[in-house]
């Protein structure tokens, strides 16, 4: 079994923000494969159990900085190893739409990834980093930039990103 976790923040305010790129990509995958999200109260997450592919998709509902709560719940419940975990998230250190699949890297300031590292007591898991770039305006902070919404054109372009999973 594989655990694919998209990172984001809950609530309408954050729905189309750069920091919610993990949620956006998992939502697109679900839509393409006609899959529906279900609430798992114990895990504090929205989940899809894709039986055919033996994958559980997770959108933690704890806010970004506490994403590890849901991840560690599923890792323990299904007795998964670190190789079974794929975390999908935004990355300001990559150009817009640039992707990088890697294992064993530190969080590089990403607080959601950092919380997962603490929760699973290791950084040795797979990450699918998707670039959102950096602010073009020197006055805009990185935090303000990642919490700003994507343009309609950017959201269209994001739909072309494929998750590195089968199915």
| pLDDT tens-place string over residues 54-78 | 999 999 999 899 999 999 999 999 9
**Residue 125: its pLDDT value, please?**
98
DSSP for 79-142, written as a single string: T--GGGEEEEEEETTS-TT-EEEEES---TT-HHHHHHHHHHT-S-SEEEEEE----SSTTS-H
Q: Which of the residues 19, 50, 89, 110 is marked catalytic? A: 19
110 is annotated as an active-site residue: no
Mean pLDDT of 37-49: 96
Query: How wide is the angle at C-alpha 8 spanned by C-alphas 6 and 11, nearest 5°?
Result: 130
Domains of the chain: 2-158 (3.40.50.1470)
**Residue 166: its pLDDT value, please?**
67
Phi/psi at 157 (nearest 5 deg)? -65, -35
**Residue 137: its pLDDT value, please?**
86
Q: Is residue 164's pLDDT more than 90?
A: yes
pLDDT, tens digit, for every residue of 107-140?
A: 999 999 999 999 999 999 999 999 999 998 889 9
């Amino acid at each position: 079994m594989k655990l694919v976790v998209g990172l984001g923040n809950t609530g309408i305010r954050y729905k189309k923000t750069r920091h919610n790129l993990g949620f956006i990509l998992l939502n697109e995958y679900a839509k393409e494969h006609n899959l529906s999200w279900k609430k798992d109260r114990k895990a504090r997450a929205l989940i899809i159990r894709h039986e055919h592919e033996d994958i559980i998709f997770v959108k933690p509902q704890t806010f970004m900085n506490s994403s590890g709560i849901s991840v560690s719940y599923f890792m323990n419940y299904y007795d998964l190893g670190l190789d079974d975990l794929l975390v999908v998230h935004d990355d300001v250190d990559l150009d817009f739409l640039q992707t990088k699949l890697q294992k064993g890297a530190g969080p590089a300031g990403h607080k959601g990834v950092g919380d997962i590292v603490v929760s699973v007591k290791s950084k040795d898991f797979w990450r699918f980093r998707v670039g959102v770039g950096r602010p073009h305006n020197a006055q805009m902070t990185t935090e303000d930039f990642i919490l700003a919404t994507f343009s309609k054109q950017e959201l269209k372009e994001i739909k072309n990103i494929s998750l590195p999973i089968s199915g």
